[in-house]
Structure 1
Amino acid sequence: MTRAEQETGVDEDWVLAGRYRVGGPIGSGGMGHVWAAHDLQLDRDVAVKIMHQPTPPAGTPETEELAAAGAADRERFLREIRTTARLELPGVPAVYDVGVDPTDDRLFLVMQLIHGSTLDDLIVGFDTDEPAPLSWCTAVAAQAAATLADVHRVDIVHRDIKPSNMMVHTDGQVKILDFGVALLQGAHALPKLTQLGMTVGSPAYMSREQILGNPVGPPSDIYALGCVLYEMLTGCTPFTESNSRSFRDHHVNTAPPSLRLGRRPDVPAALDDLVLAMLAKAPAGRPSAANVYEALLPLAQAVEGPVDDRDPRRPFLRPLAPRKPRNTTPRARTVPMTVDEAIDAIEQSAALAEEDQLHAAIDLLDEAVARPTGHPAADVEVKLQLGTFLHLAEEHTRAAAVLDEVISQLGDDDRAAELRYEAGVSYAASGELDTAVHYLTAALADAGIEDTFRRDASYQLGMLLPAVGRVADGVRLLESLRPQLVAEFGAESVHVRSLDRRIAQMKKSP
């Protein structure tokens, strides 16, 4: 499969640099496509940005101009990598790796995969008759301002703040994306002569100085954030382009519109004044990012009622609160799987587990469980595999709950004894000792349990019984197990010596 073919579809065999299994595209910027991928070494999902490759039109040779453009793009991409890598901030995706694709010598950047929604998608989702709450809008803007304050402190200007370059993570954190056109400020990073007069940014959010091609600094990001905040509050940008008035004309000449006198009469006067100041024509008239944060903070905290994990107000209200356990929130209704799709999910997850990608296998099965087929036998098989893989991955709290459900549905299935063992171990690891003892005892009572599981279940149960007040029962069980361990591992093995020490400790206990 050629790279051109890869970039128009998804190739399950596309493994970048022998490490990153590339999935579907999730975005595109001026310098490259962004793909969802899975790190095969660390068994985690990541985002991979691969630099565009300038190509000549069909049938024409590569020109010097094209080669020069490619070199310039490569330098810009490297600058983005260096810029993003130095920003170790909560509001910027973490950089994990960088390399060169051996198939076509293109640079790639591996970053934290942000699970959530872009701000432009969230803005579209609000009803024009019921706009976004003030506290929601100010929480997003306050988080962005906090990140920009840190970015500006190290002499970096983003230059392209807009809703599509901002994401709200599933934990409510706002991330600023795409530093591809960021500008390094300071005495040692002045723009080159060839860069003066260049217009960089997105027209609806560009400051007067950007529109005119003049030097830009942190105030340009504040202007763009002011446009974004105005859009969150009203559903549209401060200025609208028309046949008679361009964005350029508006940003250069039109006074910023008041929220209170226009589309949001409910906006407090202080917030209206802040947005107008952020949209000031003169850079010197705009507040700093730190001042924007301080001004927005009280409004972001003015929330009545609970907020969920995904709400951008959550970090202000409960900054250190733990998130809800994984997959405990209700899922939106989705299209049911067919039985064949369920079988495919089981087989694919098994293949991933064979490659030591247990978490990828679990994610795949989670999605399958969320789309039940309606055929009990197929659905229980998916849950059975999920429970076993959660047990193997030592996600014991979830494993216990899933296995509990599966065991109740299996009845007299031959696999029930092994699953009871897995459930017992998971409940023990989760601290629910009485339930663990129940399951391990039930597993040993099943005549169909395999010898290996019987041995391990006996050992686990013998160790647990003293913790529930049954010391004598625990001693008897472990002493009955000792001959088997001697026969299997030898009298001087670490297994037998550990067992003997534990039996001696138990006999001394009151």
Structure 2
Amino acid sequence: MDEDWILADRYRIGSPIGSGGMGHVWEAHDLQLDRDVAVKIMRQPAVPGGTPESAELAAAAATDRERFFREIRTTARLELSGVPAVYDVGVDPARDQPFLVMQLIRGATLDDLIIGFTREEPAPLSWCAAVAAQAAATLAEVHRVDIVHRDIKPSNMMVHADGQVKILDFGVALLQGVQALPKLTQLGMTVGSPPYMSREQVLGNPVGPPSDIYGLGCVLHEMLTGRVPFTESSSRSYRDHHVNTPPPSLRSTRPDVPIDLDDLFQAMLSKTPTSRPSAAAVYEVLLPLAQVVARALDDDDPRRPFLRPLAPRGPRKSTPKVHRAPMTIDEAVDAIERSAALAAEEQLHAAIDLLDEAAARPTGVPAADLEVRLRLGSLLHLAEEHTRAVAVLEEVLPNLEQDEQATELRYQAAISHTAIGNFETAVRYLRAVLADDTIDGTLRRDASYQLGMLLPELGEAADGIHLLESLRPQLVADFGGDSVHVRTLDRRVAQLKRLT
């Protein structure tokens, strides 16, 4: 590092803080606003030229760069007290290094704090409950916007000097979408840290909010006992434990653990994702143990922040309808055209805002209003706002003719349903897509891949294996026998055959 490194002519880089999923983190000083900040700078791996591996290394570097900017977009969307605030983003022209400027958290990582406790003086129950309750409150809000962290562990949690718990490093977060090619590797890809990974993660199955709950349960166990729930050995891997070993009892190690807390922990580590509690439910069980005065209040009650300062909000309520003048046909057409132009420039949320406005002011002409809604649903899917996308697409699909556009929207609905865990509905849509004899090879390939990956989740592993194996020659023809897509398919098929 330079003796006096000024990043992007604004940030004076100081001492290193640590490393995240995609880069190094430094303490820095913002020379314009005269404040201390944290700066994450993306790693820049050297890519040698002229070798057979050069193209693959260059592609991997490009993927890493995309993931780095995805972390920025993901973190910037959250705006939560439990997540460091995003201040700035850019690329340093001197080094061509992308960087992210964040709130500087002064405190200690949870793994450092856990090490400070001993068997003779373990972490107090109320302390552990308070940390886990705060994390659960943050995860409840994160899950509300269709984001899954996928790597909940003590080193990704920090306790601020004021006692607030912050969740760090959204570099591997999933904006709950299992997209079409070339993102085939999102299914069947193992992401996370082995001691804290859920059964579905280690098996490469689709993940959702329950995976974060599993990771938080492992962290809760580690805080209370000083070790993770499962111990790897020469004969038993973490993977084997997460798939097959029942969770241990907290009370066998900590007799002072209440039965309710032990029951909660057992539920958080359930092998079945749907059996795990939601983040909001975890918060409610932990709240009394954290010795926080609480009472049930509506979200909009102004007393709530004082009585329940970290509570997650309840189920999202519909916005009260306000009478607004309908759009004219010309205004609706203009909104559609402007939203398309914004989407082409990757300004998806600006485009969605335009169509939201148009949908809130229907013209009264069914064809025009339907066009606004179907474009809104499609853009919500592309922006990976899958909960909203499903709601809109379910409304418009019954009103469409059986044509190419309807089939494409059914495929998008299937992917969005997959993203939020509605596997049965997703499979039904994918089968409807494949029943259309007019669809092109690319869409048929992608729908077949997604269906093959999902069928084992519904107990149809043999059909999933057969479908994936029949798809392999096409992937080889399209991408090459040594491509990441073919290797991912082969790993998935081998994994399913072992399990069945």
The two structures have a TM-score, normalised by structure 2, of 0.57
In structure 1, what residue type is equivalent to 2:168? L
Q: 2:261 aligns with which of 271, 277, 294?
A: 271
**C-alpha displacement of 1:186:** 5.2
Cα distance change on mapping 1:139 and 1:191 into 2, 3 Å: farther
**C-alpha displacement of 1:205:** 0.1
- How far, CA to CA, are the matches of 2:53 and 2:206 in structure 1? 34
- How far, CA to CA, are the matches of 1:245 and 1:115 in structure 2? 38
**C-alpha displacement of 1:113:** 0.5
Q: Give yes or no for contact 2:48–2:54 (8 Å, CA) kept in 1.
A: no
Cα distance change on mapping 1:290 and 1:183 into 2, 3 Å: same
**C-alpha displacement of 1:52:** 0.9
Q: What secondary structure sits across from 2:119 in the alignment?
A: coil
2:235 pairs with 1:283: no
- How far, CA to CA, are the matches of 1:191 and 1:237 in structure 2? 36
| Structure 1 equivalent of residue 191 of structure 2 | 200
Cα distance change on mapping 1:134 and 1:189 into 2, 3 Å: farther
In structure 1, what residue type is equivalent to 2:286? L
| Structure 2 equivalent of residue 232 of structure 1 | 223
Q: 2:90 aligns with which of 90, 99, 104?
A: 99
**C-alpha displacement of 1:195:** 2.4
Aligned residues: 299
Write the deviation string for residues 150-193 of structure 1: whole angstroms up to 9, x where unpaired: 00000000000000000000000000000000001158799932
Alignment RMSD (CA, Å): 2.4
| Structure 1 equivalent of residue 286 of structure 2 | 296
- How far, CA to CA, are the matches of 2:149 and 2:307 in structure 1? 28
In structure 2, what residue type is equivalent to 1:51? M
- How far, CA to CA, are the matches of 1:297 and 1:12 in structure 2? 48
**C-alpha displacement of 1:60:** 7.2
2:17 pairs with 1:26: yes
Q: Give yes or no for contact 2:21–2:169 (8 Å, CA) kept in 1.
A: no
Q: 1:112 aligns with which of 103, 111, 135?
A: 103
Q: Give yes or no for contact 2:221–2:228 (8 Å, CA) kept in 1.
A: yes
In structure 2, what residue type is equivalent to 1:67? A
In structure 1, what residue type is equivalent to 2:154? P
| Structure 1 equivalent of residue 26 of structure 2 | 35
| Structure 2 equivalent of residue 185 of structure 1 | 176
Q: What secondary structure sits across from 1:89 in the alignment?
A: coil
**C-alpha displacement of 1:66:** 1.7
Cα distance change on mapping 1:190 and 1:271 into 2, 3 Å: farther
Q: What secondary structure sits across from 2:250 in the alignment?
A: coil
**C-alpha displacement of 1:24:** 1.1
- How far, CA to CA, are the matches of 1:28 and 1:130 in structure 2? 30
2:138 pairs with 1:138: no
- How far, CA to CA, are the matches of 2:123 and 2:180 in structure 1? 40
| Structure 2 equivalent of residue 480 of structure 1 | none
Cα distance change on mapping 1:61 and 1:193 into 2, 3 Å: closer
The structure with higher relative contact order (CA 8 Å, sep 6+) is 2
2:117 pairs with 1:123: no
Cα distance change on mapping 1:254 and 1:126 into 2, 3 Å: same
**C-alpha displacement of 1:31:** 1.1
Runs of 4+ more than 3 Å apart: 56-62, 186-191, 315-320
Bigger radius of gyration among the two:
1
Q: What secondary structure sits across from 2:224 in the alignment?
A: helix
Q: Give yes or no for contact 1:56–1:62 (8 Å, CA) kept in 2.
A: no
Cα distance change on mapping 1:129 and 1:317 into 2, 3 Å: farther
- How far, CA to CA, are the matches of 2:279 and 2:181 in structure 1? 22
Q: Give yes or no for contact 1:160–1:181 (8 Å, CA) kept in 2.
A: yes
- How far, CA to CA, are the matches of 1:201 and 1:316 in structure 2? 36
Q: Give yes or no for contact 2:249–2:262 (8 Å, CA) kept in 1.
A: yes
**C-alpha displacement of 1:29:** 2.1
- How far, CA to CA, are the matches of 1:148 and 1:189 in structure 2? 27
**C-alpha displacement of 1:30:** 2.9
Q: 2:67 aligns with which of 67, 70, 76?
A: 76
- How far, CA to CA, are the matches of 1:278 and 1:172 in structure 2? 24
Q: Give yes or no for contact 2:178–2:184 (8 Å, CA) kept in 1.
A: no
Gaps of 5+ in 2: 294-304, 311-500
- How far, CA to CA, are the matches of 1:245 and 1:197 in structure 2? 22
- How far, CA to CA, are the matches of 1:250 and 1:93 in structure 2? 33
Gaps of 5+ in 1: 1-5, 304-314, 321-510
How is 1:60-75 mapped onto 2 (pairs within 5 angstroms)? 63-75=54-66
- How far, CA to CA, are the matches of 1:190 and 1:64 in structure 2? 19
